[in-house]
Copies of this chain bind each other. A is one copy, B any other.
Amino acid sequence: MKTNDVPYKTYLTEDELPTAWYNLRADMKTKPAPLLNPGTLKPVTAEELERVFCKELVKQELDDTTAYIPIPDEVQKFYRMFRPSPLIRAYFLERALGTPAKIYYKFEGNNTSGSHKLNSAVAQAYYAKAQGLKGVTTETGAGQWGTALSMACAFFGLDCQVYMVKCSYEQKPFRREVMRTYGANVTPSPSMKTKVGRAINAAHPGTTGSLGCAISEAVEAAVSQDGYRYVLGSVLAQVLLHQSIIGLEAKKAFDKLGVKPDMIIGCAGGGSNLGGLIAPFMGEKLRGEADYRIVAVEPASCPSFTRGRYAYDFCDTGRVCPLQKMYTLGHDFIPSASHAGGLRYHGMSATLSELYDQKLMEARAVEQTSVFAAAEQFARVEGILPAPESSHAIRVAIDEALRCKAEGKEETILFGLTGTGYFDMVAYEKFNDGAMCDYLPTDADLAASFAKLPKV
């Protein structure tokens, strides 16, 4: 076992930290299709978006030509609390697998939100504060995004209103308490605070909510209160922009080590982590400077890339958000109750969808029992207890390392370890007890869902 070749962990120094985000769209010849106004079906304007979103974030959302966007000074300072994240050489996993592959992972879990979500939360809270807002609203399902936003709002002195899917609110009281500790106002959704919440409660008494409903409530809360805007933790181009910090740091660390990965693997729900991790590498690929295999890993229970359609669809069940062209399972698709809450989204980032459609990246769907088996194997040798979402990438990294072993190839693999599983022990308990199952949508399920795609 070599540990004097490349260090186990590589940290950039503060001087080496990126000072600008990288906007991948600037290097795409065919840009992602524009967002459409759900009423007019015409490209949405900045003015329309600014009713819901912060002004500067709308600008970033619509800008597909500026390659580098400076990171504001206050955001850079906040980043120093939890960044750089380490680039880790998985020596122990390599030894356990007996593979000639060289495995690296970029670990984003070393912060209290437990995931990469904080990278965008701090940026969004900063712009909200800079605009002079009182606060922001959002929804959260698994809880990582709500936690990250609560932390960012506490730091900037913003009110933070989180609509948390009721079943999560009840099943994950500890996630809720972390948000409350950071001063957030957490409401189980559907609530009686909004029109849409009251309507849903009336129509479906006793419902435990859904992400779609929580989004609708958060948007209503934002537009109906003076000095509030709505913020979102994934899917949007602005989020991928902020998350590019992951890939920029990883690329710089590899350059310091004199290493070039052959393959980059990331889990994909809405695409925020994967889009951020691959950004500078995909940029090189688009500019013809280098080549990389890039693999998106999604749950077999919610397979947007591998079984979805590339079409315009609503981003939310409530149909209040703009339409986006993306790989989608249909906005009415309800994935089974898997334990990777952060990956249970019917659609996918428009940017990643376009790149996938251009065959610049691959996708693979994996079942959750095999994901937890990989998570446990990883935890026991590498120490870190991974989030179920992140473990999708681990599964494929292990599979690829074993392929390298079978083929006798010394490939260099990078995967994104987006977060920790401390708040997912109910899922681990099910796995440890042998009580976890895989539920996959049938072709009939998907056909029914595709039938409801909007005609654009």
Q: Which of B77, B91, B177 contacts A428 (CB 8 A)?
A: B177
B381–A432 contact, CB under 8 A?
no
B112–A385 contact, CB under 8 A?
yes
**Cα distance A423–B177 when bound, in Å?**
11
Tell me which residues from 215 to 241 in chain A have a Cβ below 8 Å from any Cβ of chain B.
none
Oligomer: number of copies: 2
Tell me which residues from 93 to 133 in chain A have a Cβ below 8 Å from any Cβ of chain B.
110-112, 114
A201 to chain B, nearest CB (A): 25
**Cα distance A381–B9 when bound, in Å?**
27
A379–B182 contact, CB under 8 A?
yes
**Cα distance A422–B428 when bound, in Å?**
16
Q: Which of B13, B154, B384, B420 contacts A7 (CB 8 A)?
A: B13
Task: Give the chain B neighbours of A7 by CB distance below 8 A.
Answer: 13-14, 80
**Cα distance A181–B421 when bound, in Å?**
11
A3 interface contact, C-beta 8 A: yes
**Cα distance A426–B176 when bound, in Å?**
11
A80 to chain B, nearest CB (A): 4
Tell me which residues from 252 to 294 in chain A have a Cβ below 8 Å from any Cβ of chain B.
none
A151 interface contact, C-beta 8 A: yes
Task: Give the chain B neighbours of A383 by CB distance below 8 A.
Answer: 81-82, 111-112, 151, 155
Task: Give the chain B neighbours of A429 by CB distance below 8 A.
Answer: 173, 177, 180
A422–B425 contact, CB under 8 A?
no
**Cα distance A81–B379 when bound, in Å?**
11
A435 interface contact, C-beta 8 A: no
**Cα distance A70–B114 when bound, in Å?**
35
Contact with B along A413-448 (1 / 0, CB 8 A): 000000010110110110010000000000000000
Interface size class of A (residues with CB under 8 A): 35 or more
With A383-B111, A422-B422 as contacts: A80 and B432 at CB distance below 8 Å: no
- The 27 sampled A-B contact pairs (Cβ below 8 Å) are A3-B77, A3-B80, A8-B80, A81-B382, A81-B383, A110-B110, A111-B383, A111-B384, A112-B379, A112-B384, A112-B385, A151-B380, A151-B383, A154-B379, A154-B381, A173-B429, A174-B425, A177-B425, A177-B432, A178-B422, A180-B428, A180-B429, A180-B432, A181-B379, A181-B385, A181-B428, A422-B422
Knowing that A8-B77, A114-B422, A174-B425 are A-B contacts, what are 10 other residue pairs whose CB atoms are under 8 Å apart, sorted by A's residue number? A1-B77, A3-B14, A81-B92, A151-B383, A154-B379, A177-B426, A180-B428, A181-B385, A181-B432, A422-B423
